Amino acid sequence: MVEQPPTAANGSGMYDKVRDDLMKRKPLLAASFQGDPDILSRVRDYEQRSADVAQQVGLVAAKGEDIERLALLDPITELYNHRTFVKELKAEIARSRRYSQRVSVLTLIVDEFEGIGTDYGTLTQDAVLRVVALVIRNSTREVDIPARYAPWQFAVVLPQTNAAGASLVAERIRQRVANQVFSHNWKNFSLTASMGVATFPEHAQEYDELVARSLEAMECAVDRGGDRVFSF
């Protein structure tokens, strides 16, 4: 399902559309999203593997600012890496718990991303990742924490943001990704993205559970045909 983007003069229309969409999906999600233990296990396993890789990265060869960049940023997208994402999410949840605030996690995957490598090659895949990263960076606030969560997945921590607000951000990113035109050997193509949203404390109490719920929603968006935002 491809949703038509609202016009600039109809900003409230986007809010109404996302709100109505969430209300329609709520019964479905309440019945099917109880917290998938397999996804939570994958989240925890990936965190452990990322920590192991971080210990093996050749930081010895780097100097000065390069060390800081390798420690904090993903080299391809220049967004925060997985390790930094987890650290910042833990801190935001602790802050939200202390001050009784909300924090949301948005996860994103480019639809049919594997096919881009098959059709156009890995260099084009990297170029797509860079463009999507730029879209995410330009669609979020300075206080938000955008990251390359996994090789084909992005994530954003949205402090002091409820599920409805996070869904609006996700919808803005979805529209902007769909509006991008990519080129390979003078052939143009476009892409879509699927996103999931989960919010502390409504949907999870711990950081890894919150990521798992967001990934659950994202996978539901993919299963429903992609090019959409799913939230609890």
> Is residue 2 assigned to a domain?
no
Lowest-confidence segment of 49-53, 127-131, 212-216 by average pLDDT = 49-53
Give 5's pLDDT tier (boundaries 50, 70, 90): very low
> Is residue 200 assigned to a domain?
yes
Identity of the residue numbered 219: E
> Is residue 217 assigned to a domain?
yes
- 99 φ/ψ angles, rounded to the nearest 5 degrees: -105, 15
Q: Is the peptide bond before 201 cis (omega within 30 degrees of 0)?
A: yes
Give the DSSP letter string of 146-162. Answer: EEEEETTEEEEEEET--
pTM of the model: 0.78
Helix, strand, coil percentages (3-state) for the chain, rounded to 5, are 55, 15, 25
Give the DSSP letter string of 160-184. Answer: T--HHHHHHHHHHHHHHHHT--EEE
Q: Which domain holds residue 201?
A: 12-231
Task: Find where tokens 């930081």 sit.
Answer: 59
The dihedral region occupied by 159, where left means phi > 0, alpha psi between -120 and 50, and beta the remainder, is beta
Instruction: Tell me how crowded residue 190 is: count the other CB atoms within 10 A of its CB.
Output: 10
> Is residue 7 assigned to a domain?
no
Interval 136-149 mean pLDDT:
97
- pLDDT of residue 74 exceeding 70, the answer is yes
pLDDT in tens, 85-95: 999 999 999 99
As a whole number of angstroms, the distance between CA 93 and CA 88 comes to 9
> Is residue 52 assigned to a domain?
yes
Tell me, what CATH number does 224's domain have? 3.30.70.270
Please state the domain count of the chain.
1
pLDDT in tens, 17-33: 554 554 444 444 434 44
Tokens for 166? 């996070």
> Is residue 124 assigned to a domain?
yes
- The predicted structure's pLDDT at residue 70: 67
Cβ–Cβ under 8 Å, residues 197 and 157: no
Contacts with 32 (C-beta within 8 Å, 6 or more apart), sequence order: 220
Interval 91-111 mean pLDDT:
97
- 64 φ/ψ angles, rounded to the nearest 5 degrees: 55, -125
The dihedral region occupied by 111, where left means phi > 0, alpha psi between -120 and 50, and beta the remainder, is beta
> Is residue 114 assigned to a domain?
yes
As a whole number of angstroms, the distance between CA 136 and CA 26 comes to 26
> Is residue 23 assigned to a domain?
yes
